[in-house]
Amino acid sequence: MRIPGIPGFDQEALEKYFKNTGALFIGRVGSLVIKMVVGISVANYLGRGNNGILSGGTVYIYFFSAIATLGLDQFIIKELHAFPENRDQILGTSFWMKVFAGLCCVPLIWLAFHIYPAKGTPYHYVLIFSLIGIVQSFTVIESYFQSEIQSKYIMQVQITGNLVSAAVKLGLIFLQMPLIWFVYAYTFDFLLISAGDYFTYQRKGRSIFNWSYNSTLAKKLLGYSWPLIISGIMVALYMKIDQIMLQNMVGVKESGAYATVASLSEAWNFVPSVIVTSLFPAILNARRDDLDRYKKRIQHLYDLMVYLSVPVAIVITFASPLIYKLFKPEYAYAAPVLSVHIWSGVFVFLGAASGQYLIAENLNKLTFIRTGFGAIVNIGLNLVLIPKMGMMGAAIATLAAYASATFFMLAIPKVTGQGLMMLKSLFLISLFQKISKH
């Protein structure tokens, strides 16, 4: 089986995991289409002001999502891959770790809101959203299905959950319900997915009631993941801090318009996550068995990230005025901002791929160093550019932050080679080398 237009891509890895990746893609693409249609409908119904108030509340959840998830997902897969006989202990330990972390997030979110509140967003909206951190603990089940190359079950849950969620939101629009109902609906989305994960796991002859907690394993997992927790906080900062800064420095209407830009631009960010999650077992196998093959698989992964992200960025850049024809005229001025923001996706794709290398090499501490650098760049540029350029300044700051974080690896001797490999992919050097050999 060969993928057209990707010369030299490692077919051995792809053939083994393509079916699993394909299932995840179908689920995520189906979810994406549903969410985009509903998201545009909700934004048009609420208007810029209310949309800004709603998005301002969700930002705090993103800030602490790394703590709620504990950065465990990839390590759960890694543990299940290495010790499949310990399934119930691995899943049970991870689940209770996430429950405790989600509970801890509630007061942390309260503190963050009172230190830097989003002007115009009531705290009780944020409090409702903060329950999401507890509800999402059942996502450990998704890591199990990914480790078993059974992502079709995740696909089924996601599509079903998003269809129900879409029906609920469209019903609220039809009934012309107030903003608070959309706050509940957003939280309900996560409850739906968690319930779907639970029932799917139980239906397949397994039971969460067989899960057990092991403190030694918990310490081991936390030892692996704590750099990713800090990294995740940094990523959330430079992904979402611009929305709150816009809301506080310019107003909720500007923030509401920018929220549509961010949601459209970031909608594609599931793609690298699906690919690297599905191919991670193949990368680990190559590292164990054949270092030359391992290096080739990493390079091919970087190549694939560029082949996918750059065409999307080009298309969206030119199509953004047409996309905003789907919104009310009050949103139209956001189209040029989308044309800039979408290019940050190229660095998201490459960053996701290089992150897998860091996990495979147990260099997790470097992850939060580079993401911390990206967060500093983003906040600094936002302070300078937002007062002068509004949401276009926020988009430029985000693009610069993603690029800085991804290629900060060039400044670290231990992983400079990976930075150079990403540059080879970005400037299509590795593609031309493959073509010249044929």
Q: What is the pTM of this model?
A: 0.80
Cα(265)–Cα(335) distance, integer angstroms = 11
For the cut 90, the answer to whether the pLDDT of residue 214 exceeds it is: no
Residue-wise pLDDT tens digits, 237-295:
777 888 899 999 998 999 999 999 998 998 888 788 777 777 776 777 777 777 787 88
Cα(94)–Cα(10) distance, integer angstroms = 33
Cα(338)–Cα(177) distance, integer angstroms = 29
| Residue 133 confidence class, pLDDT cut points 50, 70, 90 | confident
Sign for the pseudo-dihedral over CA of 385, 390, 392, 394: positive
At residue 18, the pLDDT reads 53
For the cut 60, the answer to whether the pLDDT of residue 8 exceeds it is: no
Residue-wise pLDDT tens digits, 163-193:
899 999 999 999 999 999 999 999 998 888 8
At residue 349, the pLDDT reads 92
What is the mean pLDDT of the segment spanning 61-68? 81
| Residue 6 confidence class, pLDDT cut points 50, 70, 90 | very low
At residue 3, the pLDDT reads 43
Lowest mean pLDDT among 19-23, 131-135, 162-166, 301-305: 19-23
Copy the structure tokens of residue 351: 């960053």
For the cut 90, the answer to whether the pLDDT of residue 134 exceeds it is: no
Cα(60)–Cα(64) distance, integer angstroms = 7
CA angle at residue 148 from 3 to 349, to 5 degrees? 45
Cα(248)–Cα(99) distance, integer angstroms = 32
At residue 25, the pLDDT reads 65
Residue-wise pLDDT tens digits, 376-390:
999 999 999 999 999
At residue 24, the pLDDT reads 59
What are the b/e assignments for 118-127, b being 16+ CB within 10 Å? bebbbbebbb
Q: Identify residue 290 by its one-letter amino acid code.
A: D
